[in-house]
Amino acid sequence: MKRNLFSLMSLLVLASMILAACGGGQTPTQAVTEEPAAPPTEAPATQAPTEPPAAYEGMKVEAPSCDYGGGMKSIEAVDEFTVKLTLCAPDPAVPAKVAFSSLGIQPSEYLESTGGSGDLLEKPIGTGPYKLEAWERGNQIVFTRNDAYWGEPAKTPTLVFRWGSESAQRLLELQNGAVDAIDNVGPDDFGTVEGDSSLKLMPRPALNVMYIGMTNTFAPFDNELVRQAFAQAIDRQRIVDNFYPAGSEVASHFTPCSIPNGCAGESWYDFNPEAAKALLAEAGYSASNPFPSVKLSYRNVVRGYLPDPVIVAQDIQAQLKENLGVTVEINEMESGAFLDAANSGALDGMHLLGWGADFPDVVNFLDAHFSAAAFNQFGTSFDDITDNLTKGGQLAAEADREPFYAAANDAIKKHVPMIPVAHGGSAIAYKAAVEGAHASPLSTEIFAVMGIPGQDTFVWMQNAEPISLYCADETDGESLRACEQVTEPLLSYQIGGTATETGGLAESFEANDDLTEWTFHLRQGVTFHDGSALDANDVVLSYVVQWDAAHPLHKGNTGAFEYWTYLFGAFLNAPQ
C-alpha cells in the first residue's frame, strides 16, 4: 500500500515536471496567437483602398495624425509600380533606411497566408538571387539559385550557410576545405590566414563601436563625477593595442569617423588616472568612504566590435583596480538575457556592448542609443543630447547638420552615459580561389557575386545560426545576412561598401523639397520565388505589418519588430 502511494507520488512529480517543461515553451506562442483577437484600443488606421482609374487597387495606410509619436505618416501604393512614403518630419536618411534588410519585400499573398508568423519565420519568399531550399535546424541552411532572377544570376548554383561559435573551429573547417569562407577570424589567427597561400584575408572596415555603458539610475553611476572619473581611468589605447586585431582604432567619438559628422565635436577624454582619482575624491569617496564594488556585465559573444569579450572585460577590471582601486565583479550573462536587461536599463553597474552600422548615417549610431525614443539602456536620457539629435536628424545637408552633432557629441562627453572604447577591426577569410570575395563594412556580404570556378556549391560559415528568416523581426547580423540572400529591400547598398544604390527593386526614386514625401518606382516584371509578380501592394504590406501594431499580421517571431522603431520611431496603434 505504502509502496503504491510513493510510486504514485513520484509519478505525479514526474508528470508535473513534464507539464512544466512543455508548458513553459507553449505559453508565449499561445499568448501571441491570441493577441490579434483583441480589438485595437487606439483609433484604427484608415485602411480604405483607394480607386485609381486603372483596375489596380493600391493599398494605403495612413496615420490619423503624427501625434502617435512615430516618423511615418502614410504608406501608399500610388499605382501598380509606384510606392509613396510620407513622413511626419523631414528625413534625409530614407534611402539608406529603405535599403536595410529588415525591410525586405515579401509577397502580400504569402504574408497573409502565413498569418504573419509560422511558415514566414522558416520559409521566406523573396525576389533575391537565391531561394531557400532547406533549413536543417541546428545543422545548415541550403539555398539554390533563383534562375528567374531579374538581375545578374548568382555565380554558384548552391549556397550553404553553416555556423560554429568557436573561431578555432571555423578556421579548422576552412583549412580542411570543408567550407569556402569563414566570418570573424579569431584576432590571433590573422597571421595564420595571411601566411597561408591557399587562403586570403579580407579585413572588414571598423564601422562599429564597442562601449562601456553605465546605467545612470543605479548608484554609484547616478553621479556624473563618477562616470567622468571612470572615463579617464581606463587606458583605451592599451586595450586596443593589446587585445584588438589589426585595423582597430581607439574611439575618439561614439560614431566612427568614416561616417559623415561622426566625429563632430570634441574628442573623448585622455587617459588620466590622477584626474580620475581627483574626481572620485570630489564625488565624496575617500579612505573612510570607500568606493563600492561594481559589476561589469557582458555576454561571451564575439562580434566585430568585441573580438575577445572575456579578455577585454578582465583587462578593464584590472585597470580599474590598478588606476582607481575600484573592485569590479565580472558578470557573464547569457546573450539574450543580457540584451534584454541592457535594453530595459536593468543592468546595475557597467556593461560591455557594441553596435555595428546598419546604414552609414550618424543617426544609426547616435539616435539608436541616445535619442528620446531610444531604449533606456543608459538610464534616463539627457535633454541637451536628445534636442540636438532631433534637430540634426531633420536636416539634409551634412554641413547644416554638423553643429547639432558636434553639440550632441560634446554633451555625450560631458554626461558620459557610456565610454566609447574602440572601433574594432574584423576579417573574413576566404579560400584564395574565391572570385568576387568581399567584406562589407555593414556585414552584408552578398554571396551571389561569389564563386569558385568549377565548383557548384559555396559554403559559408558564420558565428551562429539565424534565429528566424523573417528579418523584419530580427536584429542580429547572423539572421540578417541569411535573409539578405533571399529577400531584397527597395534599394540596396553597394556591394562591399556603404553607399546606397538604386537598381534594386526600385529602379528610381525621388523626394519632394522638404524631404517628407518619397516616391519609389518599382522595377517591372520582377517575380518572387513562388512565381507571383512584384507590385506596389507587396511593398506596402511588407512595411505595414511592421509599422501597425494593431495589424493582424504584426506577429513575427517575438513581435518586437525592433528595427522598425530604430528606423522610423514608434509603431502605429501601439498598445499603451
Summarize as ranges the residues that interact with other proteins (CB under 8 A). 2-3, 6, 9-10, 13, 166-168, 171-172, 186, 188-189, 192, 238, 242-243, 300, 308, 310-311, 313-315, 317-319, 322, 329-332
Rounded Cα distance between 437 and 117, Å, is: 34
* Residue among 9 and 31 whose Cβ is closer to other proteins: 9
* CA angle centred on 177, ends 174 and 183, rounded to 5°: 25
CB neighbour list of residue 569: distance below 8 Å, 6 or more residues apart: 69, 70, 71, 72, 373
CB neighbour list of residue 281: distance below 8 Å, 6 or more residues apart: none
* Residue among 102 and 248 whose Cβ is closer to other proteins: 248
Going edge to edge, which strands form the sheet with 72-79?
60-62, 72-79, 82-87, 517-522, 506-511
DSSP 423-492: E--EEEEEETT-BT----TTS---GGG-B-TT--EEEEEESS--S-S-GGG--SHHHHHHHHHH---SSE
Specify the amino acid at residue 444.
T
* Residue among 257 and 311 whose Cβ is closer to other proteins: 311
Minimal distance, residue 145 CB to other proteins, in Å: 34
Q: What is the DSSP letter of 83?
A: E
Minimal distance, residue 310 CB to other proteins, in Å: 5
Minimal distance, residue 188 CB to other proteins, in Å: 5
Minimal distance, residue 189 CB to other proteins, in Å: 6
* Residue among 326 and 482 whose Cβ is closer to other proteins: 326
CB 418 within 8 A of CB 354: no
Minimal distance, residue 459 CB to other proteins, in Å: 21
Specify the amino acid at residue 332.
E
Minimal distance, residue 14 CB to other proteins, in Å: 8
Element (H, E) at 418: strand 418-423
Rounded Cα distance between 372 and 303, Å, is: 27
* Residue among 3 and 513 whose Cβ is closer to other proteins: 3
Burial 135-161 (b: 16+ CB within 10 A, else e): beeeebbbbbbbeebbbeebbbbbbbb
Specify the amino acid at residue 290.
P
* Residue among 20 and 37 whose Cβ is closer to other proteins: 20
* Residue among 4 and 289 whose Cβ is closer to other proteins: 4
Nearest in space to 543 (alpha carbons), one of 561, 525, 529? 561
Minimal distance, residue 247 CB to other proteins, in Å: 17
Rounded Cα distance between 146 and 62, Å, is: 35
* Residue among 80 and 189 whose Cβ is closer to other proteins: 189
C-alpha cell at 132: 531557400
* Residue among 86 and 314 whose Cβ is closer to other proteins: 314
C-alpha cell at 426: 574584423
* Residue among 2 and 137 whose Cβ is closer to other proteins: 2
Q: Which long-range contacts (CB under 8 A, 24 or more apart) does 61-70 make?
A: 61/540, 61/544, 61/547, 61/548, 61/572, 62/86, 63/88, 63/572, 68/42, 68/570, 68/572, 68/573, 68/574, 69/373, 69/569, 69/570, 69/574, 70/547, 70/568, 70/569, 70/570, 70/571, 70/572
HSE-CB at 422 with a 13 A cutoff on CA atoms is: 30
Rounded Cα distance between 429 and 438, Å, is: 10
**Cα–Cα distance list, 109 to 94, 316, 534, 541 (Å):** 26, 52, 11, 9
Minimal distance, residue 264 CB to other proteins, in Å: 33
Minimal distance, residue 239 CB to other proteins, in Å: 10
* Residue among 15 and 43 whose Cβ is closer to other proteins: 15
Minimal distance, residue 197 CB to other proteins, in Å: 18
Element (H, E) at 354: strand 350-356
* Residue among 75 and 316 whose Cβ is closer to other proteins: 316
Minimal distance, residue 334 CB to other proteins, in Å: 9
Minimal distance, residue 9 CB to other proteins, in Å: 8
